[in-house]
Amino acid sequence: MNMIVSCLMGHGTFQAKFNPLVRAKGLDNIYVLRKTRGPEVEGIQYILLPKIARKWIFNLIITPFILARQARRVKASIIMSYHFTPHTVFVWLASIMTGIPYAISQTGLYVQRYAKQPLWGWLIRAIYRKATFLNVPGTQSKKFWTAQGVDPAKINVLHSTIDTDKFTPSDQEKDIDILFMGRFSPEKQIMLILDAVRRLLEGGHQINAAIVGYGPLEKELKNFVSEHGLEKFISFPGQQTDVLHWYRRSRIFVMASNSEGLPCALMEAMSCELSVVCPSVGNISDVLTDGETGYTMPLATDETIYQQLSRALENYDRDDAIRTNARRIIVDEHSYGFAIGKWNSVIADLRKKGL
């Protein structure tokens, strides 16, 4: 059985998706159609689009035809996408042209918002209903698509998983009290974290924070720190390739997003046994239960982030059981080993259908 995939992801996300897939039983070849080569993952064969496809308008026009031609050439049994726009549209069109079944792996939650819209929602729902199978980032997403008419038997809770043999607890000295790691974009609401740290410092807490990453709001965030004289307490190390180093230096990991699927950074932090503070948005409730695996709240506000960070700091020395529980749920349900088992079941079902 051969599979061809259309996707565009950063190296870390790509490895989180494909490392378990290439270890699954029953796939002879996995081909990935991209504009440029991605990370070296043993078992992945890249098919590169022509340079003209790097311009977005030509990419939209020609990629479905190239995908269809390549799917025929490699004798693909299934065409799969990661990310709805435009890759799920590409595989849907390629499936129409070739008659080869298609599958969808949902990455974020924005497609669920679009599926409710009157203009495009009907098309999105139709595409999802006709997929051979659908991978979603959590139980809330499965409930959503079931309500939209997708057969629940076709929906697998199978999202990004992490290497829990790599992301492990450490006895390294913790010289960072509060860590954020991610993109500096509006939905992450990092300003709430900065303001909470400011309030904690004003309340007498002797703490520091590292805001690791990059993005369009970087200047605004740094200006806030400068205006409040917090440069000695809040650092911006920039984008980092060795993220494990930062987890192992840190005590508490925090997110304040208003929308998430199930972020790898959160699972990595939990696997490293950091105390975690994060709102229960999207599918995060699959791993985070307040007082059991971390500290959570329905939505992030300036007050809820401040209160939960206060709890995490005050209880840190008594929270060994919570941190152990956090790692256990990631190992049991969101590790490479778990994902390999899920993929084995998916592929076995496809083979039973004669693909």
Let me know the angle formed at the C-alpha of 263 by 267 and 46, rounded to the nearest 5 degrees. 105
Distance CA 276, CA 286 (A): 14
For residue 47, list its beta bridge partners: 33
pLDDT at 311: 97
List pLDDT tens digits, range 287-316.
999 999 999 999 999 999 999 999 999 999
At residue 109, φ and ψ (nearest 5 deg) are -105, -10
What is the DSSP secondary structure assignment for residue 108, as one 8-state letter?
A: S
Average pLDDT for 324-341? 95
Distance CA 77, CA 62 (A): 22
Q: pTM for the whole thing?
A: 0.84
Close Cβ partners of 4 (under 8 Å, ≥ 6 residues apart):
30, 31, 32, 33, 47, 67, 70, 71, 74, 76, 78, 79, 80
Query: Half-sphere exposure of residue 215, counting CA atoms within 13 Å on the CB side?
Result: 15
Average pLDDT for 184-200? 97
List pLDDT tens digits, range 96-140.
999 999 999 998 888 998 999 988 899 999 999 999 999 998 999
339-345: Cβ within 8 A, 24+ apart: 339/20, 339/21, 339/158, 339/161, 340/20, 340/23, 340/24, 342/156, 342/158, 343/20, 343/21, 343/23, 343/24, 343/158, 344/24, 344/25, 344/26
Sign of the torsion angle spanned by Cα atoms 74, 80, 81, 87: positive
List pLDDT tens digits, range 242-290.
999 999 999 999 999 998 888 999 999 999 999 999 999 988 999 999 9
Whole-number mean pLDDT of the chain? 95
Please give the share of the chain, as a percent, with pLDDT higher than 90: 87
In this predicted structure, the answer to whether residue 160 has a pLDDT above a threshold of 80 is no
> Which pair of tokens denotes residue 349?
């079902």
Distance CA 235, CA 210 (A): 5
Distance CA 113, CA 118 (A): 11
pLDDT at 342: 94
Look at 22-26, 115-119, 166-170 and tell me which has the smallest mean pLDDT: 115-119
What is the DSSP secondary structure assignment for residue 173, as one 8-state letter?
A: -
- CA distances to 37, 74, 124, 289 from 2, in Å: 19, 7, 26, 39
pLDDT at 282: 87
pLDDT at 15: 87
CA 11 vs. chain centroid, Å, equals 12
> Which pair of tokens denotes residue 202?
């004003």
Please name the helix (run of DSSP H) or strand (run of DSSP E) that holds residue 352, with its range, or none: helix 336-352
